[in-house]
Amino acid sequence: DVKVTQSSRYLVKRTGEKVFLECVQDMDHENMFWYRQDPGLGLRLIYFSYDVKMKEKGDIPEGYSVSREKKERFSLILESASTNQTSMYLCASSLQGSLGYTFGSGTRLTVV
Amino acid sequence: GESVGLHLPTLSVQEGDNSIINCAYSNSASDYFIWYKQESGKGPQFIIDIRSNMDKRQGQRVTVLLNKTVKHLSLQIAATQPGDSAVYFCADLNTPLVFGKGTRLSVIA
């Protein structure tokens, strides 16, 4: 069964900390995505990547960065966590040219 | 910018009844849509898709209807069950995926 694995289900971090959210997929997918999900706002795209070492800004990239050193791994980095980054973070992947996304189970991040 | 949006944020349905979840989109060039189901504590999962050359597509207990004239699509769930309780998203398959905000379906036993 194909999988997208997010390293943590729940995280609590302090304001100002540097936070790493990890996502790994075992499907040899080219495309990987990071979304955040908030009540009333749905899923909003933060960053995405179509290839190793490649990244593109989504709709809300401010306060975030990403790293894609290997095809299977896409990391989301909060350089200096703030309380307004408390959210559910979802990683997804897809094959190049494919129309189907596979999502991870999400990481619920709380910044205190 | 282009967007997709669901008509209602919440929907309550009696068990055994049919559910209809509606979605509107704004991009006339959109040609492929997917419905996702997100259960509590999980990521969204694919339910059914439809291309713009189709008006209707059926799966197991689910049917998606597409009206390109008014840029509207709907997801119909037959004989709704408690396991159908979830948040449902329609998505316009322009990469990267553009999601609606979701409709939370609650099934009343």
Q: What is the pLDDT of residues B68-79, one digit of tens each?
A: 999 999 999 999
Share of chain A above pLDDT 70, in %: 96
Cα B87 to Cα B37: distance, rounded to the nearest angstrom = 6
What's the pLDDT score for residue B16? 97
What's the pLDDT score for residue B27? 82
Contact B43 A43 (CB under 8 A): no
Chains A, B: CB pairs < 8 Å: 49
pLDDT band at B22 (very low <50, low <70, confident <90, very high): very high
CB A49 within 8 A of CB A95: no
Contact B41 A105 (CB under 8 A): yes
pLDDT at A12 over 70: yes
Q: B10 at the A interface (CB within 8 A)?
A: no
Question: Least CB-CB distance to A104: which of B32, B43, B96?
Answer: B43
B13-32 residues touching A, CB cutoff 8 A: 32
CB B92 within 8 A of CB B31: no
pLDDT at B1 over 60: no
Residues 6+ apart with CB under 8 A from B20: B74, B75, B76, B77
pLDDT at B2 over 60: no
Q: Which helix (H) or strand (E) holds B63?
A: strand B62-67
